Structure 1
Amino acid sequence: MFKKWTKGIALCCTAALLGALAVGCGGGAPAGGEKKPAETQTQASGDYIQTIKNRGYLIAGVKNDVPLFGQLKAGADKPEGFEVDIMKELAKKLFGDESKVKLEKVESATRIPMLQNGQIDIVAGTTTITEERKKQVDFSDVYFMAGQSLLVKKDSPIKSVTDLKGKSVSTVRGSTSAKNIREKAPDAKVDEYATYTEAFQALKLGRAEAMTTDNSILMGFATDEPDYVLVGGLFTEEPYGFGFQKGHPEWVKYVNDFMKEMKANGKYDELYKKWFKQDPPK
């Protein structure tokens, strides 16, 4: 009898001690799911710029397969390009140190979901501003104006979109280029690839007779591969903007003001000439 009574007291004490420890540690995860990271909770509170500063570095989504804009070359450990350099300048503006940026790889099909999921603070990934995309994310002012064109082998009979009837054309999944080319050349066979590198490889290997996307992107491939040329002129306008998760107007304004500063102090022109070997259009 005494043994049973003392055993019961011990169990009660143990339960009470465990309960007190649980309260002292915050009670664990909220009911119905995992505890949210502190960063996510801060983002919801309003000042996204302070969230980035508290973290200690910027997270920027950039392309890894687009020459001149964001390209990870063989043997390199980080991508390089016009947009990459602008993100480094943005990190310098935020932290006084251009190295305070984490460059996350994005593709045309993943860049908007990654913004919406809070995986990146900003996307600098040759993203055309469209009304449809404005429903999903917020955009900065235009920082680069491109237009869609065609890339072909030098001896190709294709000279414009009117020559694409019955021809195979490679482009990138999740881009405006696929939609545009189907409208401009409805009788062409359009194959979509995950990356620009894969779309260009399809052209090189003969699986496609032309590649289509923004002229600025095609120029990069033509620079690296002189046996290929741009034809057909421009048949769309593609205004590029930086993308942001919705709900952070102060962050969008900060970046717009930063870009105005870059243009006023000559840094934008310097980077533009570094990558495109010409002055930016006025």
Structure 2
Amino acid sequence: MVLSACKGQSVFKNGSFEVAKMWKKLLAGAVLTGLSCSLAFAGSTLDQIKSSKQLTIGYRESSVPFSYLDGNQKPVGFSMDLCAQVVDKLKQSLNAPQLTVKYLPVTSANRIPLIQNGTVNIECGGTANSLERQKQVGFSVATFVSHTKWLTKTDSGINNAKDLKGKTVVVTQGSNAVQFAKEINEKDGLGLNIVQAHDHAESMLMLQSGRAAAFMEDDILLAAKKADASNPNQFKFLPDSYNTLAYGLMVPKDDPEFKALVDKTLSDMMASGQFTQVYKKWFENPIPPRNANLNFPLTQDLKDRIAHPSDKVPS
């Protein structure tokens, strides 16, 4: 039996009207769970955008400096500026100068499902590319390279990861750090009590309030939280550094046309020097809302990616 029509039509091969009614009920249930027929058969992302004249950008509310809310509750950041260039490219390529852009806040936990079900067309946050995530979504060429580290209080008496033995540590739900912390805990026999916070802001609050002895995350996200603290000197990095992570803008899986447009936009920015200027704006200068300066110059890893744009996952 093959379903051959979509919008309320009872057209089946080798079936009866009663079977058709059964399928209509099943389809109605699918719509309620977000798996609507329009999404399932809508075609490529570019087709959807061209047809609807609308692009939905997913952004993070507290992933400084990639995407976060400024003092006016407006989403801003490094990734948001990159995505603004993608929007301009889309308007030109699709001949759609009046393209409407919607902004939807996403979290570590729901960002991948929202890309998968078509609610979000592109996620402009601080998401690390990985082989595991590539099974679910696509990624642009790398826009940043980071390493996973621990942040703790300066007066904690903790000087390296071994000093965390038996203590409570925090990671952000949905982050790569969740699995890394578990692996390190098991490998080094640290006996950690690993708790998961809703977002990076809550993770930092748990560290600041003493409910966690350390916060594990990508170094740049930790640097941002440290710089934004009322007393940045209250916090320090542990010397332990783990894996290398390449960030990218997240896009739908198996959609080569849309990914190619995003990649070309970024690659052109890298070749022209525009990418580096946008980077300096957010990583080497005072940024809103508190005019904190991350003082995080381009690393050699990122310089290499700028010279040779790639979505390759670091080994």
User: Normalising TM by the smaller chain, what interval?
Assistant: 0.7 to 0.9
> Structure 2: any 5+ residue segments left out of the alignment?
1-5, 10-23, 285-296, 304-315
- Checking the alignment, whether the CA contact within 8 Å between 1:152 and 1:211 is kept in structure 2 is yes
Structure 1 stretch 39-48 or stretch 182-191: which is displaced more? Answer: 39-48
Alignment partners' CA distance in 1, 2:196 and 2:98: 35
> Structure 1: any 5+ residue segments left out of the alignment?
1-26
| Superposed counterparts of 1:25-174, under 5 Å | 29-30=8-9, 31-32=24-25, 33-34=27-28, 41=38, 44=41, 46-73=43-70, 75-95=71-91, 100-174=100-174
TM-score by length of 2: 0.73
Aligned counterpart, 1:257: 264
1:230 corresponds to 2:227: no
1:243 corresponds to 2:260: no
Amino acid at match of 1:255: V
SS in 2 for 1:216: helix
Shift of 1:276: 0.8
Give CA-to-partner distance per residue, 1:213-255, whole Å, 9 cap, x none.
Answer: 0001001011111122222242111111222222311111111
Structure-2 change in CA distance of 1:99 and 1:265 (3 Å) = farther
Structure-2 change in CA distance of 1:104 and 1:149 (3 Å) = same
- Checking the alignment, whether the CA contact within 8 Å between 1:91 and 1:98 is kept in structure 2 is no
- Between Structure 1 and Structure 2, which shows a larger proportion of strand residues? 2
C-alpha RMSD of matched pairs (Å): 2.6
Structure-2 change in CA distance of 1:49 and 1:165 (3 Å) = same
Match among 201, 211, 218 for residue 205 of structure 2? 201
Amino acid at match of 1:87: C
Aligned counterpart, 1:219: 223
Alignment size in residue pairs = 254
Give CA-to-partner distance per residue, 1:61-81, whole Å, 9 cap, x none.
Answer: 1111112111114x4231211
Shift of 1:191: 0.6
Structure-2 change in CA distance of 1:238 and 1:209 (3 Å) = same
Structure-2 change in CA distance of 1:179 and 1:98 (3 Å) = farther
Shift of 1:42: 7.8
Aligned counterpart, 2:281: 274
Structure 1 stretch 206-215 or stretch 87-96: which is displaced more? Answer: 87-96
Amino acid at match of 2:107: E
- Checking the alignment, whether the CA contact within 8 Å between 2:55 and 2:99 is kept in structure 1 is no
Amino acid at match of 1:64: E
Give CA-to-partner distance per residue, 1:76-109, whole Å, 9 cap, x none.
Answer: 2312111111111211221267995322111111
- Checking the alignment, whether the CA contact within 8 Å between 1:126 and 1:240 is kept in structure 2 is yes
Aligned counterpart, 2:16: none
- Checking the alignment, whether the CA contact within 8 Å between 1:162 and 1:185 is kept in structure 2 is no
Alignment partners' CA distance in 2, 1:40 and 1:165: 51
Alignment partners' CA distance in 2, 1:259 and 1:40: 33
